[in-house]
């Protein structure tokens, strides 16, 4: 297994011999980070975001229970599962740990087989949940992020724009006369069109932060962080032109052409700004592009429209 694909563990124990034993048991299969106290564990958990934490209960100053509580209260680390490693094995101790949402217990002295199995079981659960989560965020037809994925990304970028006082732009897009295409060529050909258009986005963006998703049906949506309206209009025009230039093969050997209409909105949000209005205004600009003849870009709140000279 390559190192890039390895899961990572943070082992926390104030006794160096315990850190050494657990590292020797687990190191061949996992990337290992270590910490010797609760405060160091919290900082390293934030920095490295390990897949799983093995946390000693009996530590000076800040014990394992306090450390786990702090990890669960932190937005960045609250989802990381924690296995307690402890010499405490009473029912009361186990009940306390589980009430704090510990995932499991490993008792001392360590058994190499038990350590490996308990860690492996938790890692399998983590990886399975991530696979399910990833699939739930992907549109299965186009392999693009879906609407749920876009909503999560939008809220994250929106809050960051508020904190950093930066602009954010959105592109709402709709394939022109797609229903007619489905009626004439069939839904299977329509699916091919959607897949082809999805590839256009992969070849259009240059910044890693730009985010495109399938909004639903023949609608797509793009989020452009730290981008003002003029820059968003330029990106939208590149997409419009690329879609118009795309050649889509048909089953009978012929080629199909399609166009797209795009509505653009940009805002520098503040604390009481509305995400709903942000999207709604992009949608209004999209309808303006449709009403103006399709195959064009319209920006919300501006008169300048970008479209083909032949349609002027």
Q: Hey, which residues are catalytic here? A: 218
Q: How crowded is residue 45: how many other Cβ atoms within 10 Å of its Cβ? A: 24
Cis status of the peptide bond prior to 23, with omega within 30 of 0: no
Distance CA 296, CA 274 (A): 26
Distance CA 243, CA 220 (A): 12
Rg, the chain, Cα only: 26
Contacts 24+ apart (CB under 8 A), 142-148: 142/194, 142/195, 142/197, 142/198, 142/214, 143/198, 144/198, 144/201, 144/212, 144/213, 144/214, 144/220, 145/211, 145/212, 145/213, 145/214, 146/213, 146/214, 147/213, 147/214, 147/215, 147/216
Q: How crowded is residue 119: how many other Cβ atoms within 10 Å of its Cβ? A: 23
Residue 309 DSSP class: G
Distance CA 185, CA 235 (A): 30
How many residues are given for the chain?
312
**Euclidean distance between the first and final Cα of the chain, in Å?**
59
Q: Do residues 285 and 264 make contact, with C-beta atoms less than 8 angstroms apart?
A: yes
Report which of 205, 235, 211, 76 is spatially closest to residue 151, judged by C-alpha positions: 211
């Amino acid at each position: 297994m390559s190192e890039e694909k390895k899961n990572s563990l943070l082992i926390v124990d104030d006794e160096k011999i315990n850190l050494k034993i657990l590292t020797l048991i687990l190191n061949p299969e996992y990337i290992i980070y270590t910490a010797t106290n609760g405060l160091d564990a919290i900082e390293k958990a934030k920095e490295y975001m390990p897949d799983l934490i093995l946390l000693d209960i009996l530590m000076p100053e800040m014990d394992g229970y306090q450390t786990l509580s702090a990890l669960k209260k932190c937005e960045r680390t609250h989802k990381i599962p924690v296995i307690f490693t402890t010499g405490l094995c009473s029912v009361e101790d186990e009940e306390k740990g589980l009430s704090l949402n510990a995932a499991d217990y490993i008792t001392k002295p360590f058994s190499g087989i038990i350590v490996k199995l308990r860690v492996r079981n938790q890692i399998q659960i983590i990886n399975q949940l991530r696979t399910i989560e990833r699939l739930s965020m992907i549109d299965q037809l186009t392999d693009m992020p879906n609407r749920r994925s876009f909503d999560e990304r939008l809220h994250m970028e929106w809050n960051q724009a508020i904190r950093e006082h930066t602009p954010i732009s959105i592109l709402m897009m709709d394939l022109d006369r797609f229903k007619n295409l489905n009626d004439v060529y069939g839904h299977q050909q329509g699916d091919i069109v959607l897949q082809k258009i999805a590839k256009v986005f992969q070849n259009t963006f240059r910044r890693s932060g730009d985010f495109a998703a399938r909004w639903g049906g023949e609608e797509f949506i793009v989020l452009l962080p730290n981008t003002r309206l003029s820059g968003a209009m330029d990106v939208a025009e590149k997409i419009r032109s690329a879609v118009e230039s795309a050649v889509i093969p048909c089953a009978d050997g012929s080629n199909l052409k399609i166009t797209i209409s795009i509505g653009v909105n940009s805002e520098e949000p503040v604390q009481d700004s509305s995400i709903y209005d942000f999207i709604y205004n992009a949608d209004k600009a999209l309808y303006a592009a449709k009403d103006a003849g399709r195959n064009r870009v319209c920006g919300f709140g501006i008169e300048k429209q970008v479209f083909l000279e032949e349609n002027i």
